[in-house]
A and B are shown apart, each in its own frame.
Chain A
Amino acid sequence: MRARIPVENQDMLAALRGFLQRLLETEVVEAVLVPMETPSGAVTPALVADPALLDAADPLAPVLGLNAARAVGPVTIREPRGRIAAVLRPCEYRALIELVKLQQTSLEDLVTVVVDCPGTYTVPDYQKMRANGGVDRSALLAGMRTGDLASQAGYAFRDACQICENFAAVAGDVRIEFFGADLSEGIPVVLADELAGRLGLEAAPEDGRRAEAVDRITRSRIQARDAVFAEMRGRLEKEGVEGVFAACVRCHNCMTACPICYCKTCLFKSPVMEHEPIQYMAWARRKGAYRLPADTMLFHLTRLNHMVLSCIGCGLCTDACPADLPVGRVFRTVGQQLQAVFEYVPGRSVEEPLPLITFREDEWLEMGEER
């Protein structure tokens, strides 16, 4: 049902903190995984068991430095475990769904709290904003109400956010809805009747402007997205993947930041990729010169093959790249194409199997039978 989280003195952050505290006090959960502001002002996810410490919770901080789906895995993956709530942005929720299917996390004993997202800044930008006059949150909230959303003057949302068309909370056990909302009556929240009962929340009507605000932002994001796709397709066609990734320094940051790239025994960190010294000589002779470290395009093409179908477009790869390469744009562009081939929408539902572990006997029947 739809209810409202009570708000006092127009303090949205205090209202959300209060809501999370209620989750603990009513023993719905034993801890809350939520972005917290550290004493020095950085924002990081933490698993909070003490309700008093939730005064530092900051689920509205418009910054994304890591995908929290990553953090959920270790605390849910096996029993015994606690009952927890995880506060997530839509791209983090989608990553979580993919990680469930990759068997890296579990939804058991977990209450997902998905919050509408206006877009986020990179960690360095967020720090800069804080140091230079602060982060204007009320402008963001106002923009979420009207659908007329802009980043703070002098700053841009993260590259991925500028083309993110799935920024609204549409799934999750608890959905916190800011888009189109008149917050004077409280913050709209969608949750199961039983949970609402335990938290003492009563049904409230929708104020009807959410769809309009979401539509408006979606339209402009899709426009920006399609322009990026077109530009990236052009580049890939012209320069190839080797052109786009030419300046890669092989730090593997993109892989480390990616919530989907979970393999503890990544091929590229394994002995499989350690070649014999004499082998390098052979390659150098054969090609005349051989790029080192070896296998750079192989790395990117392999990552595309292994996980692009699950790419949920959080763009943390791009933010993590020291060479400023458009990693996320490549993955989203190629991903869109490939996801269409397999009619797969990553992050939508745990019921939809990962395309490469499933199959139908009666598909692509002509493939392999060519004479």
Chain B
Amino acid sequence: MSDNGFEPKIVAFLCNWCTYTGADLAGTSRIQYPPNVRIIRLMCTGSVDPTYVLKALLDGADGVLVGGCHPGDCHYQSGNYKARRRIIALKEILKQAGLEEDRVWLRWISASEGQRFADTVSQMTQYLKEKGPNPMKKEWAV
């Protein structure tokens, strides 16, 4: 474990029905998790266009978390299955493009998994702390 004083910034795109509610539960149950995450609520992971994730990564985030319902539980039936493919494509493109794909995390977290949400944010924060700041943050020419 390293503590270099660097506090990563995480942008989280969470679906309203599962992960956002899970995050809310973590809050109301007073489960502790690092304050590094900025939450953006969406109706479904199916509406996460890769552009949003990329914009965050190119303009200041150290990591992006996409959180949705477990497979089979999507409120709109198949939004998360499509999101899964999109994130796989996005990560592969980032890899090919010489960018760090491990700054993008996809996690299925249900409305009742407040603890899992808190754990995920802690893990991701720690991971990014060790990894260091996103080099894109300082690249003015992107």
> Which label, helix, strand, loop or mixed, suits the secondary structure of the B interface?
helix
- B98 & A239 in contact (Cβ 8 Å cutoff): yes
Evaluate whether A368 and B85 lie within 8 angstroms (CB atoms) in the complex, with A288-B138, A288-B140 already known.
no
Please, which residues of chain B bring their CB within 8 A of the CB of A269? none
- Among A241, A267, A291, find the residue whose CB has the most chain B CB atoms closer than 10 A: A241
Q: Which of A161-193 contact B (CB under 8 A)?
A: none
- B98 & A240 in contact (Cβ 8 Å cutoff): yes
* Interface residue? B139 (CB, 8 A): yes
Please, which residues of chain B bring their CB within 8 A of the CB of A334? 93, 96-97
What is the distance, in angstroms, from A229's C-beta to the closest C-beta of chain B?
Answer: 11
Chain A residue with minimal CB distance to B140? A289
* Interface residue? A19 (CB, 8 A): no
Please, which residues of chain B bring their CB within 8 A of the CB of A371? 116, 119
* Interface residue? A305 (CB, 8 A): yes
Q: Which of B104-142 contact A (CB under 8 A)?
A: 106-108, 116, 119, 137-142
- B86 & A295 in contact (Cβ 8 Å cutoff): no
Band of interface residues on A: 35 or more
Please, which residues of chain A bring their CB within 8 A of the CB of B94? 301
Please, which residues of chain B bring their CB within 8 A of the CB of A233? 96
Contact indicator per residue, chain A 70-114, by CB within 8 Å of chain B (1) or not (0): 000000000000000000000000000000000000000000000
Q: Ordered nearest first, which 8 A-B pairs have the shortest CB separation?
A: A240-B98, A359-B81, A289-B140, A241-B97, A297-B142, A305-B50, A368-B108, A334-B96
Residues of B within 8 A of A (CB): 49-51, 54-55, 58-60, 68, 70-72, 78, 80-82, 84-90, 92-94, 96-99, 106-108, 116, 119, 137-142
Residues of A within 8 A of B (CB): 233, 236-243, 246, 267, 283, 286-291, 295-298, 301-302, 304-306, 308-309, 333-334, 337-338, 341-342, 355-357, 359-361, 363-365, 367-371
11 example contacts (A-B, Cβ-Cβ < 8 A) are as follows: A236-B96, A286-B60, A288-B138, A301-B93, A305-B54, A309-B89, A341-B92, A342-B85, A361-B72, A367-B84, A368-B70
* Given A287-B140, A363-B84, A367-B106: 13 more A-B contacts, CB < 8 Å: A296-B142, A298-B51, A298-B54, A305-B51, A305-B90, A338-B93, A356-B89, A357-B82, A361-B72, A368-B68, A369-B108, A370-B107, A371-B119
